Amino acid sequence: MTQSTSSTSPAAGMDILNTLYSAAFTAQVMRAFVKLRIADHLASGPRTPAGLAEPLDAHQDALAAFLDTCAANGLVTRGKGGEYAVTDRGLLLRSGSAMASHVLYAAGPGVNRAYEQMSEVVLTGRSGGEVAGQHVYDYYGEHPEEAEAFEKVMSETTAECVNALVDVHDFTAYGRIVDVGGGRGTLLSRVLAAAPKAEGVLFDMPHVVDMARSSLPAEVSADVLERIEFIGGSFLESVPSGADLYMVKSILVDWSDEEVTRLLGNLHRVMSPGSRLLIVDWFAQDGATASRTAGYEAIASFGSRTLWGGRLRPLAEFEALLTATGFTIDQITTGFAPCLFPWNLIVAHR
């Protein structure tokens, strides 16, 4: 007979597992809540299903059942007269909010089609998107709503560290800066604000560059905007030449060693002797530095492998990849900006 090493009772264990596997349903409830803009409609006051069905052009009975489900998840409350009011939790999911973007991205088909292939990821080592027939980044090129939600989440993630980054690294010495995989331009625009004489290049997939070209005018000053050149392409094929600084933030974590080597090789080819490469990323903890976040780190790392084909890497692996592609490391600054996973900086030159 096999002896269990768990201190959890069978009944409690079943409750935990029931909660875990039903999380997928809850995530889709939240996604529908966002897509239907329920919080927006209820922000001005409670409504009955009949009063809400008309502006939504919804099936009234199905809407009522959905609102009851939302109430069970704390997004709305139901009054004695059958009217529904949005809760503080539900208001966090108003259109355009950071949490709404997280939900549209994380509960969207692009992510879930990759997660559905998790067993094949384990068996083959390929990303879930590739197993499903299309890498998630290529999928986003054909699904703008999900792509926009994903890029908003990435911009929010960048905003967590960018002010600390300009404090620990002097960008004023550079004349031309290329942000490789720069998303909506959050990092590049902040760096250019700190380096008023520099020109910048935002380089990413064409649909992302189009998104940045549309969104940045409302978010940055005219002085910064006029110094940004927008270039679309794939960094796994080539990168723009002629810069004295190349920035790669939150990129290497998404790709396999082979693809990271290809990207670093593309960078090394176009960089002039002495030009700099700046990498901002997370490091995996080793056994000596593992902390309370180790469990979440394992989930995040395997999640990256499942979605994109990458993983969290310890510092030693970053060093090995850079050295193998011809770079010399000048500076390593660990934990320059705190968050669940502290941000780290590597500066290298060709």
Cβ-contact 180, 268 below 8 angstroms: no
Checking if the pLDDT of 22 tops 90, the result is no
Whether the pLDDT of residue 137 is over 90: the answer is yes
Confidence of residue 11 (pLDDT cuts 50, 70, 90): confident
Once rounded to an integer, what is the mean pLDDT over residues 300-316?
94
Q: Give residue 149's pLDDT.
A: 94
As a whole number of angstroms, the distance between CA 93 and CA 241 comes to 42
Please give the mean pLDDT across all residues of the chain.
93
pLDDT at 343: 93
pLDDT above 80 (res 95):
yes
Q: What is the pLDDT of residue 287?
A: 58
pLDDT for residue 329 is more than 90: yes
Write the Ramachandran bin of 284: left for phi over 0, alpha for psi from -120 to 50, otherwise beta.
beta
Relative to beta strand 199-204, strand 176-180 is parallel
Residue type, 156: E
Q: How confident is the model at residue 94 (pLDDT cuts 50, 70, 90)?
A: very high
Q: 23-35 and 60-72 helices cross at what angle (nearest 10)? A: 120
The reported pLDDT for the residue numbered 141 is 94
Q: Around Cβ 200, how many Cβ atoms within 10 Å?
A: 27
Question: What band does 6 get if pLDDT is binned at 50, 70 and 90?
Answer: low
Residue 216's H or E segment, with its range, is none
Does 306 score more than 60 pLDDT? yes
Q: Band the pLDDT of 296: cuts 50, 70, 90.
A: confident
**What is the predicted pLDDT for the residue at 5?**
54
> pLDDT band at residue 294, thresholds of 50, 70 and 90?
low
What is the tens place of the pLDDT at every residue in 48-66?
Answer: 999 999 999 999 999 999 9
* pLDDT, tens digit, 9 for 90 and up, residues 168-221: 999 999 999 999 999 999 999 999 999 999 999 999 999 999 999 999 999 999
Mean pLDDT, residues 313-337: 96
pLDDT at 275 over 90: yes
The answer to whether 281 and 249 are in contact (CB under 8 A) is yes
> Would you say the C-alpha torsion 287, 288, 294, 295 has a positive or negative sign?
positive
- Neighbouring CB atoms inside 10 A of 92's CB total 16
Tell me what percent of the residues of the chain surpass a pLDDT of 70.
95
Contact status, residue 208 vs residue 151, Cβ threshold 8 Å: yes
The whole-number average pLDDT for the span 18-37 is: 93
Residue-level pLDDT at 291 = 58
What local confidence, expressed as pLDDT, does residue 2 receive? Answer: 46
pLDDT at residue 1, rounded to an integer: 41
Query: What pLDDT, on the 0 to 100 scale, is given for residue 293?
Result: 59
- Distance, in Å, from the CA atom of 111 to the CA atom of 146, rounded to the nearest integer, reads 9
pLDDT digits (tens, 9 = 90+) for 228-255: 999 999 999 999 999 999 999 999 999 9
